[in-house]
């Protein structure tokens, strides 16, 4: 029994209380969940056995005697991986392991932001980032995207406009390599333009690269961090999308001036040690062969999703074929309100992410939605999209049943 009243003790400014977990929807297209069949379970079991036999006794020390920046063999793996894939030159001392890249967002924000500050983000961006910024009372300026990511013409005029008002934004947050939710990859030339603007206005770049391993053709431009010569880029990444989100292991690459501040704020005495040990043991021999297998499977699921949308929604669902990742960003006809569709679909067992939660421009995103195709099976994708189309037809009159109908909305 619980009848003690905590309410009078709660400080002002707490976020709204969470609702109780009611389980995943039957057809779940939400969140950044991964493909259950692609978790390398057997190899992870081997890794856990090997590393615990060899080094299990080091669990007796906080941080496995590797210091507060995390298990050194994992940081060493990251040094070589980041050099090979993203062109980043970092030493183990320039990397901090954190509890998912969500903790990286918190540490960067705690280090740089105060209420009333301004930051620049992509107009469509990660909900977890937007929610944090709202909670911190930060003014968030969204820059529209095109097929190559954040638009530099708009960014240039926004920076000039802010400067004229005496405002120096604290950072430019970007997800340049498989953008969430739009799935674009910013080409190298645009990365160079972004860096130039960042340097001209003295605004650091906050590069969130957590989807960078999931690219269909495996080719990525260098990280913005790798292209900067003045240490103005904070780079974060994660093992959530390449291996498994439940492990909660992410990392930060940052210059010591930022790192030393963030270390002072990371007061949890280190992120989960077992996860770090297992990842280091697993990744050194397996990471490079695991990733292409994973992306091939994800691509198949994406094809299934695009096909199902074509069959069920016809021309009512518009989308670009993303370059990688786990999401499809879909535009429905203007009269569809995806916040309402979300409620109605959930009642029918289909969970979707409504666009407005992923955008600073609620009007623009009002008829858009994000679908994660990684976690449902291909059969669930087909069935779930069919149910979604039924709900959408019932609530908004679109799509009409035939896929061959005249298109009513842009």
Ligand X SMILES: Cc1ncc(COP(=O)(O)O)c(C=O)c1O
Of the candidate residues 149, 204, 245, 356, the single one contacting ligand X (CB under 6 A): 245
In the chain, what is the greatest distance between 2 CA atoms, to the nearest angstrom?
68
Please count the residues of this chain forming the interface with ligand X, following the rule CB under 6 A: 14
Q: How far is the CB of 128 from ligand X (least distance, A)?
A: 6
Site residues for ligand X, 66-125, by CB under 6 A, read: 100-102
CB 19 within 8 A of CB 346: no
User: Quick check: 32 binds ligand X (CB under 6 A)?
Assistant: yes
Within a 13 Å sphere around the CA of 378, how many CA atoms are in the beta-carbon half?
A: 9
Total residues found in the chain within this entry:
410
Q: Give me the helices (H) in 141-272, please.
A: 152-164, 188-201, 224-227, 256-265
Which CB, 27 or 239, lies closer to ligand X? Answer: 239
Which CB, 30 or 79, lies closer to ligand X? Answer: 30
Residue nearest to ligand X (CB): 100
User: Quick check: 210 binds ligand X (CB under 6 A)?
Assistant: yes
User: Quick check: 208 binds ligand X (CB under 6 A)?
Assistant: yes
Which CB, 246 or 400, lies closer to ligand X? Answer: 246
Comparing CA positions, the residue from 244, 269, 270 lying closest to residue 98 is: 270
Any residues with CB less than 8 A from the CB of 293 and at least 6 apart, and which?
A: 38
Q: Residues 149-188 vs ligand X: string with x where CB under 6 A?
A: --------------------------x----x--------
| Cα–Cα distance, 394 to 345 (Å, whole number) | 11
CB 349 within 8 A of CB 391: no
Comparing CA positions, the residue from 233, 265, 271, 235 lying closest to residue 95 is: 235
User: Quick check: 140 binds ligand X (CB under 6 A)?
Assistant: no
| Cα–Cα distance, 369 to 347 (Å, whole number) | 17
User: Quick check: 251 binds ligand X (CB under 6 A)?
Assistant: no
Tokens of 159: 């920076």
Of the candidate residues 169, 250, 333, 354, the single one contacting ligand X (CB under 6 A): 250
Which CB, 172 or 389, lies closer to ligand X? Answer: 172
Going by the DSSP 8-state scheme, the letter that residue 21 receives in this structure is P
User: Quick check: 142 binds ligand X (CB under 6 A)?
Assistant: no
User: Quick check: 238 binds ligand X (CB under 6 A)?
Assistant: yes
Interface ranges with ligand X (CB under 6 A): 32, 100-102, 126, 128, 175, 180, 208, 210, 238, 240, 245, 250
């Amino acid at each position: 029994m619980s009848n003690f009243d905590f309410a009078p003790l709660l400080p002002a400014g707490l976020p709204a209380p969470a609702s109780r977990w009611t389980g995943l929807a039957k057809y779940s297209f939400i969140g950044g969940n991964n493909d259950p069949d692609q978790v390398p379970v057997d190899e992870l079991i081997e890794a856990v056995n090997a590393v615990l036999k060899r080094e299990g006794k080091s669990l007796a020390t906080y941080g496995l005697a590797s210091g507060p920046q995390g298990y050194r063999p994992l940081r060493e793996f990251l040094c070589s991986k980041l050099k090979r894939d993203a062109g980043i030159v970092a030493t183990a001392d320039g990397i901090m392991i954190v509890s998912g890249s969500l903790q990286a967002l918190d540490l960067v924000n705690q280090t740089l932001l105060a209420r009333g500050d301004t930051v620049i983000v992509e107009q469509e961006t990660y909900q977890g980032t937007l929610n944090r910024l709202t909670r911190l009372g930060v003014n968030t300026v969204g820059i529209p995207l095109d097929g190559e990511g954040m638009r530099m013409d708009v960014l240039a005029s926004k920076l000039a406009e802010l400067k004229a008002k005496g405002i120096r934004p604290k950072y430019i947050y970007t997800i340049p390599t498989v953008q969430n939710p739009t799935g674009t990859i910013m080409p190298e030339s645009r990365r160079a333009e972004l860096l130039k603007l960042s340097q001209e206005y003295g605004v650091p770049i906050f590069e969130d690269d957590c989807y960078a391993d999931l690219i269909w053709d495996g080719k990525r431009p260098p990280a913005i961090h790798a292209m900067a010569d003045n240490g103005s880029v904070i780079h974060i990444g994660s093992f959530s999308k390449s291996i498994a989100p439940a492990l909660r292991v992410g990392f930060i690459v940052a210059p010591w001036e930022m790192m030393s501040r963030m270390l002072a704020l990371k007061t949890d005495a280190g992120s989960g040690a077992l996860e770090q040990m297992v990842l280091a043991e697993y990744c050194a021999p397996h990471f490079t062969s695991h990733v292409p297998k994973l992306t091939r499977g994800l691509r198949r699921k994406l094809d299934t999703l695009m096909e199902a949308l074509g069959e069920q929604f016809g021309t009512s669902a518009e989308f670009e074929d993303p370059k990688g990742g786990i999401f499809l960003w879909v535009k429905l006809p203007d009269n569809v309100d995806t916040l309402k569709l979300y409620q109605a679909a959930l009642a029918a067992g289909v969970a979707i992410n409504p666009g407005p939660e992923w955008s600073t421009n609620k009007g623009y995103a009002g008829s858009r939605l994000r679908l994660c195709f990684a976690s449902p099976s291909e059969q669930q994708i087909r069935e779930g999209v069919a149910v979604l189309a039924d709900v959408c037809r019932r609530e908004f009159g679109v799509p009409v049943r035939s896929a061959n109908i005249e298109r009513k909305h842009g």
